[in-house]
Structure 1
């Protein structure tokens, strides 16, 4: 029983400590701001523009004026071969690009409501078009979140595949050439591209949206579960200790039904009858009789000629009542004191 109790106590302490450590570590991992980029899976050279989303969530204290920028890396890519636009107030506005061969950067842009405070998130939508003639390859898209003072909030990268421009087959007498697709107008692209399509085409936009909506990390949830398990074990341990303490509180030597009392003898008390009047003591030789009270009859005087110890010689004399001698047994009920008399009788063994 002792080993089981100690094991339960140790498990409860470990669960509480582990849960508190995990809960303390989960806020520490969320002290920095977060930037997430979601780009389309592929870009066609000379094709329609594809969406790129940059989501910024602020986790530090204070508020900033948000600015974002994009960076594109592709072997052989030139700045004049890239067209970038940003969504603002329901419209697509062009964004300036610069850079060198293989690396292109966009200018910094601000959303319609650029103020970003702790616990809030903003998603900026871009669309990128690559001109025809760009060789295919692996495109790296990097999004950067900045403040108006130039402080970097964070950056994140995503990859996409660039397919080269289609080669139109030359006409031959034996085969009719396939019709060349006519380029779509910009207005048509505006109608086709909408926020829902951009979000669905970007593979990493779901994590950004989920993160901007709030919620705890799995580490925090695991810590909460560990704390709950530790508290449950502590409650069970307290209940088990209380149940084990109840039998020890009862004295093992006590007999059921025994009444508490003095283990000595039994005490009896006489009834409360009024005490008997004490007997009138006899007159001592040489003692003067007491003077009678006023109005009382005088006591008779003994006849003359009496001898000490002998009755008076008169024939008609009535002998006085014999007074009890000290030490001689007396008959009748013993006198009781006023208010009752207490007699102590010891209890016999056995």
Structure 2
């Protein structure tokens, strides 16, 4: 009975120690907060590089050194179209780059110059630029903080859409369209005409409509002349009084009178 209790106590003690060792880094990381405080500029092909600022703070008293690492994940575009520069006050900060296809990682070659303590911050700055011919897509930026023993502390993530170089070709202006259309109409008969092919005159051109018009005018003139002649003849007929002899009747009456006188 006592031997069993002793063995059980030993096993429990080992479990407690191992749990404390595993939980130690996690409990140390609880005092650190990482936040992407600012992302400015345009995520656009050929635009001025965008700016990103990451800030780490600490709630506990002990001070630590920080190593920064930035993870980039892209969608619908390539990592080769992006240029990232880790910046400090005195210029570019050396980093080690790892390319994993759709994901890349930039890790500081040395610890950040600042020291992270309570009520103090450590800041990392990055510039992000896109090539002139970069395609549109999406980029995710995850900033991670590690301590001097390369143990993970905390991270923060930001995602942005990238506007690519997809400018459509300019459409012709109305002035250009008006200039092109007459040229095409003028060249159409030349393109259609060939050896032995008759040329069809365009509708409405000079000479094609004069013959029908002349015939119509002539017909109207003939009709008007006939009408005037008929009216003149009818007036002459109506103008003679009833019983008035004509030329023949006058000659006959004179002849009869002469005969009577002779008798």
TM-score bin (small chain): 0.3 to 0.5
- Higher Cα radius of gyration: 1
- Structure showing the higher strand proportion among its residues: 2
TM-score w.r.t. the length of structure 1 is: 0.37
Select the structure that is richer in helix.
2
